[in-house]
């Protein structure tokens, strides 16, 4: 379908690019800066950054091949030659050589003394909780993006939405097999999220924490390790909380925050990677529930990757924003967006706590007014 000409209000709001952008669009300017050493380095760095964007899909698929063929795992056991790795992976040697060279370019492995070795980055990849599981899960998202134009126009039915059936209500998550699948992925990625959240939010002085939408309790396990005297409550769908461990001071309530009232008694309620799974109307209703469940002075803790807002972030405004769009119900919100939703629910004293790794999580806290 041909692009339609801009007209009416759309044309009226359109303005030309800024002067610096106009300069960057000039071939003559690029020819000039190639003759100036300082500017030449800057120009080439920009060119490399652009090419990284262009080649990003190939890089991520190369990583997936290294994971699925267990190349990194095998090198964790010791150095190996190209023929040996090819034989173990069932990949012809010439093609394995290309894959290994690509892995070296990604700084995941290196070649020395006639064999391939795992690099510190490759070792970190294998040990960062949830990272390998995330890479293995990406094939679903990549299939949804096969036709990105149709995807962004809303003309496709993303497969990812079927992977996370709970976002449409409790019915889809009643299937124990589906519940186990997404609960495991959540649990795999929760260790880093919990660690960063607990660096950002001090729970000293809290008496009782309830984690809503807390899966199988991975976040509460991290909380208990740091705050062993804290009373804990886990609230999530029945098929999910059935996999929760038996912890001292932990009470498990099966239920859906869409249909069931939240238990009372906690003076703090956490929502860890919950809001961005859901549409604004669902989030508004949930925050109203949380407000009603808290006593005056009680605190809500929200932790999830957040949009950069006026300063777009490549991790959250590309990766997570597209991911939540593919889920069909979620939205990656900025801290300001979440603050507005909290204020509308009646919360005060809203504090934004940017995380040291925005691609893992950031946090926001707010209080129920004592008045």
For residue 70, give the CATH number of its domain: 1.10.10.10
Q: What is the band of 181 on the pLDDT scale with cuts at 50, 70, 90?
A: low
152 and 292 part of one domain: yes
Lowest mean pLDDT among 124-128, 189-193, 307-311: 189-193
Q: What are 238's two structure tokens?
A: 């029945």
Question: Which of 53-57, 113-117, 242-246 has maximum average pLDDT?
Answer: 113-117
Which three-class secondary structure state does DSSP give residue 331?
Answer: coil
Determine the Cα angle at 335 with ends 135 and 161, to 5°: 40
Same domain, 77 and 188: no
* Distance from C-alpha of 135 to C-alpha of 355, rounded to nearest angstrom: 22
Domain boundary among the residues 104, 127, 150 is at 127
CA within 13 Å, CB half, 112: 8
Q: How confident is the model at residue 171 (pLDDT cuts 50, 70, 90)?
A: very low
244 and 320 share a domain? yes
Sign for the CA dihedral angle at 72, 75, 80, 85 comes to negative
**Residue 177 shares a structural domain with residue 248:** yes
Q: How confident is the model at residue 5 (pLDDT cuts 50, 70, 90)?
A: very low
**141 and 108 housed in the same domain:** no
Same domain for 338 and 248?
yes
Tell me whether residue 252 is in a domain.
yes
Cβ neighbours of residue 223 closer than 8 Å, sequence gap 6 or more: 194, 198, 203, 209, 211, 230, 232
Q: Say whether both 105 and 140 belong to one domain.
A: no
Residue with tokens 């669902």, as numbered in its chain: 282
Q: Tokens 């080439």 identify what position? A: 44
Tokens at residue 25, please?
A: 């669009």
Q: How far is CA 257 from CA 182, 228, 272, 290, 339, in A?
A: 18, 27, 14, 9, 20
What tokens were used for 264?
Answer: 């009372």
Strands 115-118 and 109-112: antiparallel
Into how many domains does the chain fold?
Answer: 2
Q: How confident is the model at residue 358 (pLDDT cuts 50, 70, 90)?
A: very high
- 26 DSSP assignment: -
Please answer whether residues 360 and 192 qualify as being in contact, where contact means their C-beta atoms are separated by less than 8 angstroms. yes
Strands 362-368 and 347-353: antiparallel
Question: Residues 237, 140: one domain?
Answer: yes
Burial category of 88 from C-beta neighbours within 10 Å (exposed 0-12, middle 13-18, buried 19 and up): middle
* pTM, entire model: 0.82
Termini Cα distance of the chain: 58
Whether the per-residue pLDDT at 189 is higher than 90: the answer is no
| Lowest-pLDDT choice from 163-167, 178-182, 183-187, 194-198 | 178-182
Residues 115 and 179 in one domain: no
* Domain range enclosing 227: 135-368
What is the pLDDT, as a whole number, of residue 271? 98
What phi, psi does 367 have (nearest 5°)?
Answer: -125, 150
Give residues with Cβ within 8 angstroms of 7, minimum separation 6: none
Spatial contact of 306 and 316, defined as CB atoms under 8 Å apart: yes
Mean pLDDT on 271-293: 96
Q: Chain-wide mean pLDDT for the chain?
A: 87
> Distance between CA atoms of 160 and 142, rounded to whole angstroms?
9
| Arithmetic mean of pLDDT, 293-313 | 96
Name which of 77, 157, 152 is nearest 118 in CA terms.
Answer: 77
């Amino acid at each position: 379908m041909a692009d339609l000409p801009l007209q009416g209000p759309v044309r009226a709001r359109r303005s030309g690019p800024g002067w610096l952008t106009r300069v960057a669009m000039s071939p003559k300017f690029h020819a000039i800066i190639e003759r100036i050493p300082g500017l030449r380095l800057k120009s080439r760095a920009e060119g490399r950054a652009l090419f990284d964007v262009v080649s990003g899909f190939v890089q991520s698929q190369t990583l997936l091949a290294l994971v699925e063929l267990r190349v990194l795992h095998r090198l964790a056991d010791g150095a190996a030659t190209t023929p040996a790795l090819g034989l173990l992976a069932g990949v012809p040697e010439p093609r394995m050589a290309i894959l290994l060279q690509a892995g070296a370019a990604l700084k995941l492995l290196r070649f020395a003394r006639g064999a391939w070795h795992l690099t510190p980055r490759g070792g970190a990849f294998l040990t960062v909780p949830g990272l390998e599981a995330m890479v293995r899960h990406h094939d679903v998202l990549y299939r949804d993006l096969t036709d990105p134009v149709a995807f962004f126009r809303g003309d496709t039915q993303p497969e990812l939405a079927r992977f996370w059936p709970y976002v449409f209500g409790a019915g889809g998550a009643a299937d124990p097999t589906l519940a186990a699948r997404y609960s495991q992925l959540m649990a795999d990625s929760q260790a880093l999220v919990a660690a960063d959240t607990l660096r950002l939010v001090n729970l000293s002085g809290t008496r009782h924490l309830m984690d809503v939408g807390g899966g199988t309790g991975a976040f509460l396990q991290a909380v208990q390790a740091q705050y062993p005297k804290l009373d804990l409550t886990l609230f999530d769908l029945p098929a999910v909380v059935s996999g929760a461990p038996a912890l001292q001071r932990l009470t498990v309530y099966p239920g859906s925050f869409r249909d069931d009232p939240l238990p009372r008694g906690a003076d703090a309620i956490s929502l860890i990677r919950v809001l961005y799974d859901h549409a604004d109307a669902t989030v508004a209703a949930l925050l109203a529930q949380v407000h009603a469940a808290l006593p005056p002075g009680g605190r809500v803790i929200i932790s999830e990757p957040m949009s950069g807002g006026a300063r777009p972030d490549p991790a959250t405004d590309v990766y997570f924003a597209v991911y939540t769009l593919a889920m069909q119900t979620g939205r990656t919100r900025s801290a300001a967006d979440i603050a507005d939703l909290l204020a509308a629910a009646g919360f005060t004293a809203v504090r934004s706590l940017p995380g040291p790794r925005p691609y893992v999580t950031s946090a926001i806290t707010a209080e129920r007014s004592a008045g």
